[in-house]
Structure 1
Amino acid sequence: MGFLNLSFLWTMIMPLIVIIYYFFRKKYIQQSVSSTLFWREIMKETKVSPYLQHLQQNALFYLQLFALLLMMFVLLQPYIKTKNISGEQIIWVVDTSSTMLAKEENETIFEKHKNEMLALSKKLGGKAVTIVTVGAEPKIVLQDEKNRARIERAIQQLQVTYSHEDWPNTMDFLQSIIGKKSTAVYIFTDAIEPKQLPKRTKNIKWIVQGSEKKHQNISLQRFGAIQSAEGIEAIAQIENQNQKSQQTTLKIYNANQEEIARKTINLKANHITKVRLDNLKSTDALTARLTANDEYAADQSMSTLLATDSSQIFVDQSLHQLISKAFQSIDSSASTISSNQLESIQSKSILVTNHTDLLHQSKNPILLIGRDDKKALKVDGEVKIIDPKLFSYASIEDIYVEKVYPKVRNAKTLVTVGDTPLIQQTENGHIVVLMDLQMTDWALHPSFPLFLWSAKEKLTAHNSQLGTFKPGEKRVVSLPESKKGIDIYTPNNEYIKSIADGGSFVAPSKPGLYYVKTDSDPLYFVVALEQQEKTLSEGTSFQYGELSKQNTINKDNSIFSTILIIMILALLIVEWEVQRRYGFTN
């Protein structure tokens, strides 16, 4: 404790003046009384409680003296010294990867670091703080914030994103925002090596808060399944990362989260065990879960989609050569075959042709480019997109079209040239382009291969899978149209989020099996934990670097001033009441 304004020490004479005044005041006056009958009774009361009688007689003196002392303290401005975080600029870097969910005693590493940040927020001393999260990419959560309530709210809202932390990219990002200021960088993580930090130490102090505990972990490293004649065959790799042998149970669930198999396995210490399960019941997806007593549960579950025959692309060799080359750049398995062979394709492969009769005869998805049963007619006008869903990645309104074929009956028009249909979609989903490449300059535009890719995705949208994603991965995905909108659910029908019409597909953060709810069959997809997040590293806490300005002492006088002013006001009220009752006799 100290005083900010010692120049007001002269105010100490004010209480002394009051004391001196009371010493020299007239204490007694001569008074004639008619009787001393009650004098002895009064003296008895005085002797029984002399201090109380003295206080009653001199209450105004003590109140005035105390009020003056308090006013003197207010003018001297007393303060309390507190130790604050050093540095002109403070940055908190928070690791949000999956391994932060490893437990330490009764809480996870992530929860422990959040509590540490809440404690540090009380020591900021009015300094601004920036919070950066580390996952697949660095992200600023809070920038140059001084308001303690907002800082604490931002800390409470931090969540694990399950993505593997990208330290090199994060360090480059930090260097760009640090600048030349004296900066204290706090890194809250489970483990990071000193060599991963920048070599720059001038005006920067790196404080790493790591996890020094060696965690017990049993990890489901890999899980896959294939369809065979006898049923589904699945294989799992389980790694015991502990120093002791342990026993665990592997449970297998179908797409509806019904248990269809289980197996008890003895795991050797620091050893990978392969487990095979045969003759499982047919399903669209499988989920494997371990029942293990360890300190990290995020890597005890994996989901996989059952391999299905992918749709192959067959291009009619009578079409322009640029069409087959464009499809081969999109899908290396695309093949060119003769027109006679198109009818013999029995699988769900995509047929690219100009044979109009196949629109009614073939059960395969068809991309019709041109027509072999009609003659093209000259057309004039601008290209206009009626339904933009197939052209969300590249517009075709800047192409030139000389001729088009007559429209296909009972088909929805997607694009027009003037008032003439240019691209259509039939009732059974086939896509029709009513021109040959020789009738347009479309092949010279970048929108041409993008349209072929969109058409391929549209024609294969009947598949029951979307694939495997990383946590929070953003990817271009062709989704089927839905009147009710597109929603993402867990296999237990728990709603996750909705995807806006034409919006980007962003996978959920938490690993597991999900499905997209459409007007027809659900589309399953898997969010898989990255392999780096299946091994726990033993970290440490350390710091290095020095700051040129060590502003670590804060002088807080706000509490003292507030309390003293309140006390003075209270004393004035009490003094007024004493004067009202007893007057100015003393």
Structure 2
Amino acid sequence: MGIASWSGLWFALAIPLIILMYLFKRKYVDTLVPSHMLWNRVLRNIEANRPWQKLQNRLLLWLQLLAAALLVLALMTPFIWVKGGLSGHTVIVVDASASMSGQRKGEPGKDTPSSSTALDRLKIKVHEYIDSMGADGEVTLLKLGTEPEVLLTRETDQKAIRDQVDKLEAKFGKAAYRETMSLAAAMTQDDPDASVLVFTDEQWSERADDILFAAPVEIVSLKGEGTSNAAVEQFGIKNDGDHSTGVAVIRNYGARPFETGLNLFGDGQLLASKSVKVESGKAVTVTFDELPASDVYKIKLERDDDYAADNEAYAFREKGGAPHVLLISEGNLFLEKALQLSGARVTRMEPGTSAPSNEPDSEGDKGPALPKDKPDMIIIDGITPAYLKTGEWSRLIQETPSWTLGGDGGKIQPDSGRTTVANHPVTRYISLNDPPAAAVLAGDMPSWGKPLMEIGSTPAAYAGTENGVNRLVFLFALSDGDLPLRPEFPVMVNNAVQWLQAGRTTGLGRMVAGAELEMPFNVEAAQASWVAADGYAVDAGAAPIPAAAKDHSLAAVQTVPPLPGLWRFEMKGADGRVLPGYNLEVIAHPSESAIGQVKPLGFGGGGVGASAGGAAGNGTGNSTGAGQSSGGVGPNPERSAKYSLTYLAALLALIVIIVEWGVYQRGRSI
């Protein structure tokens, strides 16, 4: 038992005062006197009072002394030590780094799931510590994530603490280990009643033993026994002409050999599979040759391990250099030269026969073979061949930005020769005073189309995005006018190539979760959001994340989504049209993968060494150093907490006063 405030002893002076009052209490002696002496009452009263009389054994006296003693005890705030609790100011550091999302096997005989994440087990342990929190306990809750975050400061409400703990989620960016612990050290530097509790799996990639604490530190370990993890450490695609080569590096962080299948996908289709075996602590390189062209490649480990965030990786087809243009035309020298001036690599293909055959396997029905190298855009000059509307060619057209000039069908004469040009990236720096053609094709504009040029009130060209793919349509053939001879023509072709090139599925590369990324926005983008497309983020049910805005427009620098996986940055124009987006691979910080290679964690102190059972001392904060508790669930039995007896002493004093009042009412009979 201990006393927290000795100043309450001043109230103990009331005890001798009570005794003194009884010493000076008037005492009357029963005496028989003649009635004629009643007039001398005052004199007899004075003579009958005998001060400094001997104290007598009276119940009322003892009750009053007991009540005074209990009140003195209550004012001194007594307490007793309780094993395993929290008292004083406790800074609880909760590790929410990416490795805490890894699976850990349950402990035999413990009331925990047979398989749960380290973060789930952290919540259970913190709850049990909070349950043993003393009446004078205060908790500061400090979250260790991508940056230090103070969730609560000197909180005494246990429910508020539990609510914050239940909301914890793992952060997959670079964990701020040193920054968080340095903040915890600063918060307890000048607090003699402070202590630090660190709940962690001890998977720290940064040095911590040089961080000095003035308060005792206890490490509650959540590391798992026999954990295993294999990671796709690197993955890339190299274009080799008509085909691509994929290279992946697989590393085993576990204590035992790891054997599993390795699957490689291209645009969602399985392209190749291999079996791989990796020794403990080693890495192997796996190569995939002769891969067909795809926009997005994915590699994934078949076997699930204890840490799922690094079991898959993505790569994007190289899009650098000059765009590849497939020109389907009977020959147009001006158009080819203008395309070459824009920097495009042009492959011209004759339209061939456009009449479908009755033979299902005939060349007329199937058309020519697809190009070996998938084009970045397709330009159709003249009548569209029939084979482009069926089979593999139709699928290629649907997935590839296209520019159509002319076509078949009836033509109409515009009602006037006045030409207007809309404000659009294709018509930038273009001013047409004369109509580009004398007649244009008749037909309705699709819902995704936006007029680019109008002759009178008749549309002559339109553009738009169909299912996320850019489309450009000229309702006249170049041979129907003198547009190729005008100086604006090369500028228009260059604008068209640049705009169509922006419609390609472009990969932004690989970024760590929570990092900042400068975005190449489409000029028409008015709103955008991150949408989970594949992988860990989809499995976790990630919701779309609106893009950050600045000054009523999209911010140039965006924050990378917080969960690993394949994300797509989707954009829309001011009119709600879907614009071409970008793919991004989001990864957890690589240092978090080594969950099977945990080293003992310790912090610096003022001369007291680490102890196996927990922080030494009586919990009052007068010792320094670091301790470590066992991996079992529950409070450290070596930790002691103050349990206040003030309320109990005050309650007993009140009961005694009530009993005393009853004795007083009964008068001298007691």
TM-score range, shorter chain: 0.5 to 0.7
Of 523, 532, 536, 1:489 maps to: 532
Q: Describe the superposition over 1:59-105 as per-residue Cα deviations: whole angstroms up to 9, x where unpaired.
A: 9999889766644643554333579999x998666654323334554
Pair 1:529-2:588 in alignment = yes
Matches within 5 A, 1:342-353: 342=341, 345-346=345-346
Q: What amino acid is aligned across from residue 272 of structure 1 in structure 2?
A: A
Conserved in 2, the CA contact under 8 Å of 1:472 and 1:509? yes
Pair 1:249-2:258 in alignment = no
Of 469, 480, 486, 2:511 maps to: 469
Of 295, 306, 314, 1:304 maps to: 314
Residues of 2 paired with 1:75 and 1:152: CA distance? 32
Q: Which residue of 2 aligns with 1:147?
A: 155
Residues of 2 paired with 1:63 and 1:573: CA distance? 10
1:458–1:122 distance in 2 versus 1, CA, 3 Å? farther
Of 542, 550, 569, 2:602 maps to: 542
Conserved in 1, the CA contact under 8 Å of 2:205 and 2:591? no
Conserved in 1, the CA contact under 8 Å of 2:257 and 2:278? yes
1:17–1:71 distance in 2 versus 1, CA, 3 Å? farther
1:487–1:236 distance in 2 versus 1, CA, 3 Å? closer
Specify every segment of 5 or more residues in structure 1 that has no aligned partner in the other structure, as ranges: 25-57, 315-336, 350-358, 375-407, 412-425, 431-454
1:305–1:204 distance in 2 versus 1, CA, 3 Å? same
TM superposition shift of 1:470: 1.5
Which stretch shows the higher mean deviation, 10-19 or 484-493? 10-19
Specify every segment of 5 or more residues in structure 2 that has no aligned partner in the other structure, as ranges: 28-57, 107-115, 325-335, 347-374, 378-402, 407-423, 434-451, 456-461, 465-469, 472-495, 572-577, 609-618, 624-639
Conserved in 2, the CA contact under 8 Å of 1:208 and 1:543? no
Residues of 1 paired with 2:263 and 2:78: CA distance? 67
Of 510, 530, 541, 2:563 maps to: 510
Residues of 1 paired with 2:68 and 2:104: CA distance? 55
1:214–1:516 distance in 2 versus 1, CA, 3 Å? same
SS state of the match for residue 645, structure 2?
Answer: helix
Q: Which residue of 1 aligns with 2:53?
A: none
TM superposition shift of 1:527: 0.5
Q: Describe the superposition over 1:126-161 as per-residue Cα deviations: whole angstroms up to 9, x where unpaired.
A: 6684736353xx344348x22234555544444322
Residues of 1 paired with 2:215 and 2:228: CA distance? 32
Residues of 2 paired with 1:70 and 1:124: CA distance? 20
1:584–1:236 distance in 2 versus 1, CA, 3 Å? farther
TM superposition shift of 1:196: 5.5
Conserved in 2, the CA contact under 8 Å of 1:162 and 1:529? yes
Of 222, 228, 231, 1:216 maps to: 228
SS state of the match for residue 562, structure 1?
Answer: helix
Residues of 2 paired with 1:224 and 1:250: CA distance? 15
TM superposition shift of 1:512: 0.8
Residues of 2 paired with 1:310 and 1:296: CA distance? 34
1:280–1:569 distance in 2 versus 1, CA, 3 Å? farther
SS state of the match for residue 533, structure 1?
Answer: helix
Of 593, 617, 621, 1:552 maps to: 621
Q: Which residue of 2 aligns with 1:163?
A: 173
SS state of the match for residue 472, structure 1?
Answer: coil
Q: Which residue of 1 aligns with 2:409?
A: none
Which stretch shows the higher mean deviation, 495-504 or 569-578? 569-578
TM superposition shift of 1:252: 4.8
Q: What amino acid is aligned across from residue 80 of structure 2 in structure 1?
A: I
1:178–1:2 distance in 2 versus 1, CA, 3 Å? closer
TM superposition shift of 1:511: 1.0
TM superposition shift of 1:114: 5.8
Pair 1:133-2:186 in alignment = no
Q: What amino acid is aligned across from residue 296 of structure 1 in structure 2?
A: Y
Matches within 5 A, 1:302-381: 302-310=312-320, 312=322, 341-342=340-341, 345-346=345-346
Conserved in 1, the CA contact under 8 Å of 2:567 and 2:584? yes
Q: Describe the superposition over 1:13-65 as per-residue Cα deviations: whole angstroms up to 9, x where unpaired.
A: 79999999xxx9xxxxxxxxxxxxxxxxxxxxxxxxxxxxxxxxx99999889
Of 285, 306, 313, 2:296 maps to: 285
Residues of 2 paired with 1:273 and 1:180: CA distance? 47
Conserved in 2, the CA contact under 8 Å of 1:237 and 1:272? yes
Conserved in 1, the CA contact under 8 Å of 2:215 and 2:622? no
Q: What amino acid is aligned across from residue 249 of structure 2 in structure 1?
A: Q
Of 646, 660, 666, 1:561 maps to: 646
1:465–1:551 distance in 2 versus 1, CA, 3 Å? same
Matches within 5 A, 1:102-121: 102-106=102-106, 108-110=117-119, 119=129
Conserved in 1, the CA contact under 8 Å of 2:529 and 2:544? no
Percentage of pairs with the same residue: 17
TM superposition shift of 1:471: 0.7
Conserved in 2, the CA contact under 8 Å of 1:240 and 1:267? yes
Q: What amino acid is aligned across from residue 163 of structure 1 in structure 2?
A: G
Residues of 2 paired with 1:207 and 1:458: CA distance? 60
TM superposition shift of 1:479: 4.0
SS state of the match for residue 74, structure 1?
Answer: helix
Q: Which residue of 2 aligns with 1:32?
A: none
Q: TM-score, normalised by structure 1?
A: 0.55
Q: RMSD between aligned alpha carbons?
A: 6.2
Q: Which residue of 2 aligns with 1:78?
A: 78
Conserved in 1, the CA contact under 8 Å of 2:264 and 2:300? yes
1:339–1:232 distance in 2 versus 1, CA, 3 Å? closer
1:280–1:125 distance in 2 versus 1, CA, 3 Å? farther
SS state of the match for residue 463, structure 1?
Answer: coil
Q: Which residue of 1 aligns with 2:329?
A: none
TM superposition shift of 1:513: 1.5
Conserved in 2, the CA contact under 8 Å of 1:457 and 1:478? no
1:521–1:409 distance in 2 versus 1, CA, 3 Å? closer
Conserved in 2, the CA contact under 8 Å of 1:98 and 1:161? yes
1:556–1:205 distance in 2 versus 1, CA, 3 Å? closer
Residues of 2 paired with 1:224 and 1:565: CA distance? 73
